A and B are shown apart, each in its own frame.
Chain A
Amino acid sequence: MGFFSQARLITSRDLVRERRSGEVLWVTLPFGAIALLLVPMAIGTDAPLLEQVGTGLFWAIVMLFGVLISIRQTTGETQAQRDQLALTGIDAAAIYIGRATASFVLLVIFEVVLGLVTIVLYDVPVSGWWLVPILITIVAAGLSLLGTLAASIVSTGRNAAALVPLLVAPLSIPLLIGATQALEVLDLGGSSLAWVLMMIVSTLVLAVAGVLSARPLQEI
């Protein structure tokens, strides 16, 4: 069985598990939407202010809740499940890529739904629409790779899930800043290319780090 077939097998398994548990669609997604709803309730009907903060708030909530989505399968796995998975002979790097791909699919759905909620609640202007799908894709890829890597690092330690934010927060900053600044610069008539490239490089670094560390992390 080739590397990508192995990764596809892991992706398929994770998506079936998610479909059955409904954790992302019925728990995390509604909480994300509620978080977006709380800010207008706190600020009131200050429409210009809501419009101004809407995009940044959307990305911040995507980062915070997206991490929960991308770590969910790995941190919830038991030692017995990890052992059986290792003994299938599936390459640890294929497991990493497969898990991250499943998280990517879920994160794209999450971002699209939250994006629509943001437009409705914050009346965000629609300039730079062509860039939004690109940013959503890169952020979903980066967050899924980052969350899967962080979860792999901490998954075998005691109370390790609590350490995930410490690992993820600093490493997600290039994605958060890149996504907000890319749209801001475009609004001001500039080029977003530098910010998008920074996000792509960050994502590629995470992919390489995850693939290279997959085997050692499997044995911790």
Chain B
Amino acid sequence: MISDEPLIHLASVSVRAGATHILRDLDLDVRAGEALGVHGANGAGKTTLLRLAATLIRPSSGSGTVLGASLNSESRYDVRHRIGYVGHVPGLYPELTLRENLEFTADAHSIDHTAVASALDMVGLGAASDRQADRCSHGMQRRAEFARVLMTTPAVLLLDEPHSALDADAVDLVDAIVERTTASGGAAVLVSHDRERVSRVADRFVEISAGGVA
């Protein structure tokens, strides 16, 4: 169920890198219970939009809030643990096992380690949990990232090309994670080139073009 409360609110937000505008005067609301699909050409600013919504970068101009915290204030640090972000490149530590990678996150979130085993089981990595990340395939590493999201149950879920490098089972799993997030009152943003696949879970789509909503 979609509520009127925007969990992500961007108003005339611009992000610049030097003289280049990556995002320009972007307005966007994503409400609780909503899954938003974001479509756009390479270099349109989709990943920057996700990193902005993840509070990882600040707007160069304009204003915005995520989970009620202003993107321009220190309060954004307080909501970071409620944001789940799966980038198109896995962010696991290669020397650690899949289990150790998730245990690190679990410790940071004060989550019991029993949740690690069940999250890895849910993504089909239970048998590979003691394998070092650098000895896992790209697809397995992406599954482990989704296990991390399952474990931390974020209120805002941000997925960059969520279906790439995944087999059919894992694609269904991603869809289930998105549905679970929105059903529990959270919001999801899925950036993808594959509009048809994302449309299975997205409530609406926006197209990013030249740094703004087309």
* Contacts A84-B85, A87-B85 given; does A219 touch B91 at CB 8 Å: no
Query: A78 at the A/B interface (Cβ < 8 Å)?
Result: yes
B77/A87 in contact, CB under 8 A: no
Contact with A along B132-160 (1 / 0, CB 8 A): 10000000000000001000000000000
Distance from A4 Cβ to chain B, minimum over Cβ atoms (Å): 13
Interface stretch of the complex, out of A16-24, A27-35, A180-188:
A16-24
Given contacts A1-B108, A78-B89, whether A83 and B51 have CB atoms under 8 Å apart is: yes
Task: Give the residues in chain A near B62, CB-CB below 8 Å.
Answer: none
B56 interface residue, CB < 8 Å from A?
Answer: yes
Bound complex: CA A84 to CA B104 (Å): 11
**Pair A83/B87 contact, Cβ less than 8 Å:** yes
B95–A17 contact, CB under 8 A? Answer: yes
A87 touches B83 (CB 8 A): yes
In the bound complex, do residue A20 and residue B95 qualify as a contact, i.e. CB atoms below 8 Å apart?
yes
Contacts of B148 in A (CB 8 A): 84
Given A16-B96, A17-B93, A80-B91, check contact A9 B81 (CB 8 Å): no
Residues of A within 8 A of B87 (CB): 80, 83
B107 within 8 A of A: yes
- Report the minimal beta-carbon distance from B82 to chain A, rounded to whole angstroms: 8
User: Which of the residues A13, A17, A80, A86 comes within 8 Å of B89, measured between beta carbons?
Assistant: A80
A60: CB under 8 A from chain B? no
Among A20, A83, A87, residue most surrounded by chain B Cβ atoms (within 10 Å): A87
A-side contacts of B105, CB under 8 Å? 84, 88
Residues of B with C-beta under 8 A to A79: 89
Contacts of A90 in B (CB 8 A): 108
**CB interface residues, A 99-157, toward B, < 8 Å:** none
| A78 neighbours in B (Cβ, 8 Å) | 89, 91
Task: Count A-side interface residues using an 8 Å CB cutoff.
Answer: 24
Contact of A87 among B78, B81, B90, B110 (CB under 8 A): B81
Nearest neighbor of B154 in chain A, beta-carbon distance:
A87
**Residues of A26-82 whose CB lies within 8 A of B:** 78-82
> Quick check: A20 and B132 within 8 Å, CB to CB?
yes
Contacting residue for A88 out of B57, B95, B100, B108, CB 8 A: B108
Q: For A21, what are the chain B residues with a Cβ–Cβ distance below 8 Å?
A: 95
Chain B residues near A172 (CB-CB < 8 A): none
Residue of A nearest to B50 (CB): A83
Q: How far is the CB of A26 from chain B (nearest CB, A)?
A: 14
By a CB distance below 8 angstroms, the chain B residues around A85 are 91
B193 close to chain A: CB less than 8 A: no
Most buried by B among A78, A79, A81, A88: A88
Question: How far, in whole Å, are A54 and B70 apart by their CA atoms in the complex?
Answer: 57
Q: Is A203 an interface residue (CB 8 A)?
A: no
**Given A87-B83, A89-B81; A81-B109 close (CB under 8 Å):** no
Chain B residue nearest in CB terms to A5? B107
The reply to whether A16 and B110 form a contact with Cβ atoms under 8 Å apart is no
Please give the residue numbers on chain B whose beta carbons come within 8 Å of chain A beta carbons, in ascending order.
Answer: 51, 54, 56-58, 77-78, 80-81, 83-85, 87, 89-93, 95-96, 100, 104-105, 107-110, 132, 148
Q: Which 9 A-B pairs have the closest CB atoms?
A: A89-B81, A80-B91, A88-B108, A84-B91, A20-B95, A17-B95, A80-B89, A81-B91, A89-B80
Chain A residues close to B by CB (< 8 Å): 1, 6, 9, 13, 16-17, 20-21, 78-91, 215, 219
Q: Pick 19 A–B contacts, CB within 8 A, sort by A.
A: A9-B107, A13-B104, A16-B96, A17-B93, A20-B95, A20-B132, A21-B95, A78-B89, A78-B91, A84-B85, A84-B91, A84-B105, A86-B56, A87-B54, A87-B80, A87-B84, A88-B80, A89-B108, A91-B77
